[in-house]
Amino acid sequence: MPVYDFTCLKCNKNFTLTLSLKEYGKDKLKCPSCGSGKVEQKPAAFFAVTSRKS
């Protein structure tokens, strides 16, 4: 299953969640630290890999 990186906008903590597409579509993403639903998904890790070709 894919792993998603999130940042909590309330307590500023980073966390990862492993979600199926089914779960991902639901609006129940919560910060495991403070329980806030104000979380922001970060780009997947493989996007961060620097591979400049040009």
Give dist(CA 11, CA 27) in Å, integer.
19
* 42 is an interface residue for Zn ion by CB under 5 A: no
Binding residues among 4-33 for Zn ion as defined by CB under 5 A: 8, 10-11, 31, 33
Do the beta carbons of residue 10 and residue 34 sit within 8 Å? yes
Given the complex with Zn ion, which of 20 and 33 has the nearer CB atom? 33
Near Zn ion by CB under 5 A: residue from 1, 14, 23, 34: 34
Query: What SS3 state is found at 45?
Result: helix
Quote the longest CA-to-CA distance of the chain: 43
Residues in contact with Zn ion by CB under 5 A are 8, 10-11, 31, 33-34, 36
